[in-house]
Chains A and B, each alone.
Chain A
Amino acid sequence: MKTGRTVRPGSTVNQDVLRTAHRVGSQALAWLAASAHHGAMPPETTVDFADPDNPYKPLGETALAASLVLREGVGGPAELAAARELLDFTWSQLRSGAFLYERAMRHPMLSDPLETYAHFVRGGYRLSTLDEVVGHLGRLDSIRAIEMMPNRRLAVANANRVIDADYRCDWAALAGDTWIGSEPEPWLIDWMTGYNMTHTVFHLTDWGRLPEGLPAGIADYLGTWLPVWADIWQEVAQWDLLGELLIVDACLPEPVCDPQAWESLAAVQHPDGLLPRDGDPVDEDPHTAFKENEHTAVVAVVAGTVTLSRALGGAWSAA
Chain B
Amino acid sequence: MPISDATPQEEFSRAAERMAVRALDVLSALGGADATSATAPHRSDGPAAALGGTRAELGGARVLGADLFAPYLLTGTPLHPGLDEARAMALAFEQYPPAQPQAPQPAAAQPGAPQPAVPQAADRAASAVVWRDWAAAEVLGRCGHRVPVPPPDGHEPQDGAADQWQQWSVWMAQLSPLALPGLDSPVHDSARRNPRALGRGAVRAMLRRDYRTAARIARWLSLGQAQGVASPVRLEPLLHHVRLFGGPSARTALDVRVGERLAEAGP
Contacts and interface: CB of A to CB of B under 8 A. Distances in A.
Contact of A228 (B200, B234, B237): B200
A227 interface: yes
Contact of A187 (B163, B166, B238): B238
Contacts of A231: 166, 204
A177 interface: no
Contacts of B204: 228, 231-232
Given A258-B163, A260-B163, A187 B200 contact: no
B41 interface: no
A12 B207 CA distance: 30
Interface in B154-172: 163, 165-166
Interface in B196-228: 196, 199-200, 202-204, 206-208, 214
A45 interface: no
> What does DSSP make chain B's interface, helix, strand, loop or mixed?
helix
A110 interface: no
Given A258-B163, A259-B163, A187 B234 contact: no
A171 interface: no
A228 to B, nearest CB: 5
Contact of B207 (A228, A258, A259, A260): A228
A224 B207 contact: no
A224 B230 CA distance: 14
Contact of B203 (A187, A235, A258, A259): A187
A229 B208 CA distance: 11
B241 interface: yes
Chain B interface size, under 10 / 10 to 19 / 20 to 34 / 35 or more: 10 to 19
A53 interface: no
Contacts of B203: 186-187, 225, 228
Contacts of B196: 224
A232 B241 CA distance: 19
Nearest to A235: B208
Most chain B beta-carbon contacts within 10 A, residue among A228, A235, A258, A260: A228
Given A185-B234, A187-B241, A232-B208, A225 B200 contact: yes
A47 B204 CA distance: 44
> What does DSSP make chain A's interface, helix, strand, loop or mixed?
helix
B165 to A, nearest CB: 8
A220 B206 CA distance: 21
Nearest to B206: A187
Contacts of A258: 163
Nearest to B242: A187
B233 interface: yes
Contacts of B202: 187
A318 interface: no
A186 B233 CA distance: 8
B241 A227 contact: no
Nearest to B195: A224
Contacts of A189: 207
B208 A224 contact: no
Given A186-B203, A187-B206, 10 more contacts: A185-B237, A186-B233, A187-B207, A187-B238, A224-B196, A224-B232, A227-B165, A231-B204, A258-B163, A260-B163
Give 6 closest A-B pairs by Cβ, nearest first. A187-B206, A187-B203, A258-B163, A232-B207, A228-B203, A228-B204
